[in-house]
Amino acid sequence: MKRVAVLFVCLGNICRSPLAEAAFRREAERRGLEVEIDSAGTGGWHVGDPPDRRAQAVARRHGVEISAYRGRQVRPEDFHRFTHVVALDRDNLADLKRIRPSDAMAELLLLLDAVEGRRGKSVADPYYGDDADFDLAWADAVAGARGLADLIAGGG
């Protein structure tokens, strides 16, 4: 099996992408998939910061601890290091396409492309919302993690 590495990307790397990273780590572990996993943001505002406290809380409610995660900004070399660069929304995907080096081999996709009936849909940004918005982002991250694990386990 070829080496697989997945990078989840949202805007600031403090809400959606850490949740997607955590959900996918859990799913990969459950399935015994050997995958390198990380997350990043297209913007640099939160480099070095932990995930938003509400993201930490929703993950913790589901038995996952993300307080040690730290925000970072996506870099051009990520498109060579990772086999899959997974955007959490269409704006992030457009930004990634713009900064992707021309010789990069990483597959670009939206997280919800891996969920039947959700192709082209974005994970809503919960940052300006409340706990219910973070619960919805977690549910989308889990659904996307399962679908992505299916694709990877199937050789995609």
Mean pLDDT (whole number) for 59-79: 97
How many Å apart are CA 70 and CA 67, to the nearest integer?
Answer: 8
Q: Give catalytic status of residue 16 as yes or no.
A: yes
pLDDT in tens, 43-64: 999 999 999 999 999 999 999 9
| Annotated catalytic residue within 16, 26, 54, 72 | 16
| Annotated catalytic residue within 38, 89, 95, 125 | 125
Burial label for 100, CB within 10 Å (0-12, 13-18, 19+), is middle
pLDDT in tens, 17-30: 999 999 999 999 99
Q: Give catalytic status of residue 15 as yes or no.
A: no
pLDDT class of 1 with cuts at 50, 70, 90: low
CATH number of the domain where residue 31 is located? 3.40.50.2300
Structural domains in the chain (count): 1
Given a contact cutoff of 8 angstroms between Cβ atoms, the answer to whether 8 and 86 are in contact is yes
Given a contact cutoff of 8 angstroms between Cβ atoms, the answer to whether 107 and 9 are in contact is no
Given a contact cutoff of 8 angstroms between Cβ atoms, the answer to whether 82 and 17 are in contact is no
Domain that residue 90 falls in: 5-153
